[in-house]
Amino acid sequence: MDRKYFGTDGIRGQVGKGHITPDFVLKLGWAAGRVFGKAGNSSVLIGKDTRISGYMFESALEAGLVAAGVNTRLLGPMPTPGIAYLTRTLHAQAGIVISASHNPHQDNGIKFFSAQGRKLPDEVELAIEHELSGKMTTVGSEMLGKADRVSDAAGRYIEFCKSTIPSTMDFSGLKIVVDCANGATYHIAPYVFDELGAEVITIGAEPDGVNINAGVGSTNPDLLVETVLNTGADLGIGLDGDGDRLIMVDDQGNILDGDDVLYIIARSRQENGGLNGSVVGTVMSNLGLELALKKQRIGFERVNVGDRYILERLQDKDWAIGGEPSGHIICLDRTTTGDGIVSALQVLAEVYKSGKLLRELSARVEKCPQVLVNVRVEEGSNVMELPALKAAVKDVETELNGEGRVLLRPSGTEPLIRVMVEGRNAQQVSCLADQLAGRVKELVAIR
């Protein structure tokens, strides 16, 4: 059965359009309540990032769940991985996240976690979609759900994050810049690193409802780089709006993406005897990461883009470590989903243990030139199926002559076609990426 509403990462779009409207989210809450309520007398958690529209959708979800007879617990602003953690530890039937991650404030979305703090199985998403096709009803007054707030949600999650590294580690003497992207980690991330002894300089921690990800965070690292250099910090940590992505900056202002972070964590686990199996990346992972891991005799496998597919492979193989260049890093030996704060702590733990600088730990990953160009398209565009575009891809591959890769894929979260070219020669790679992106734009305009 094809999904009508759920994408690869929940339901997402521009506020007030499509399915991201109060009336749809109200019914979505009711439909989810109908599904989760069948499991017995339990609660569903709702958390959100700092977008102004979160108030509206929080209320809509609460009303829908209560109408279906399900108790609701409100977490307030909370990182996505924090909601996954609390869903498990508070023994809720499910957790609901109101967030559009790294997107601007005009967007929002709804995604779910199971009682185990993992993404919902396909059959549960399909069951919710089935309920959405029916007429919304309300249970009798005596059966209505109740709602309350979890007042200590942030404190619980802070303690969990700290518990993912040895309690003997003390980051005293380490100066860190933490960029919270004016998002859900603003009242959590600085305290985690501060309580572990580091000197913390915080930026991007003044959310006003519309400045989430605006000029700050993992997708906009310029201010983080500037602050690290200006303050003489040892390193910088850049999170995204919902706290599941991470980039880092070394003391010289060099940006470490998810591939670099993944390598450091994998090597650390290997040296400590805790690397179980291979590392999982995606088709977007740089060839340099694969080669660096190979030199250390660490296996590497690629899957399609999306943390859902990384999780599936890790679970199927009973492995622990995977991630994407965008900064989604999954440490299943620590938690159930991608977590920016937890991933940063694993890197800091290796800095502490090894006594090395961050740039020394990442030095063995020699990146191959890789250019990514985003081309905006209309929703539902089928430009990817055009023979003319397939021919253009083949032309680029011919020019690379077996010494590079070409990848075109539609974004799972935005109306974009992502054009990636990787090869040995930086100038050639850049020219070919622009050439191919230009062809996509031409074909989009024709249609």
Sheet harboring 147-149: ordered strands across? 11-14, 107-114, 94-98, 43-48, 71-77, 147-149
Cα–Cα distance list, 208 to 49, 53, 136 (Å): 11, 11, 34
* Tokens linked to 79: 């990182």
Query: What's the burial of 56, exposed, middle or buried (CB within 10 Å: 0-12/13-18/19+)?
Result: middle
Q: How far apart are CA 233 and CA 198, in angstroms?
A: 11
Indicate the residue type of 174.
L
CA distance 79 to 243: 5
Closest C-alpha to 52, from 254, 266, 210: 210
Does 354 qualify as catalytic in the annotation?
no
Q: How many angstroms separate the CA atoms of 222 and 258, rounded?
A: 17
**Is the Cβ–Cβ distance between 11 and 100 less than 8 Å?**
no
Query: CA nearest 301: which of 283, 281, 326, 275?
Result: 281
Cα–Cα distance measured from residue 119 to residue 338, given in angstroms and rounded to the nearest whole number: 11
Radius of gyration in angstroms for the set of CA atoms belonging to the chain, rounded to a whole number: 22
Q: How many CB atoms lie within 10 A of CB 15?
A: 20
Residue of 101, 218, 285, 381 marked active site: 101
Question: CA-to-CA distance for 159 and 169, rounded, in angstroms?
Answer: 14
Q: What is the dihedral of CA 301, 302, 303, 309, to 10 degrees?
A: 60
| 60 CA to centre of own chain | 24
Active-site residues, by number, are 101
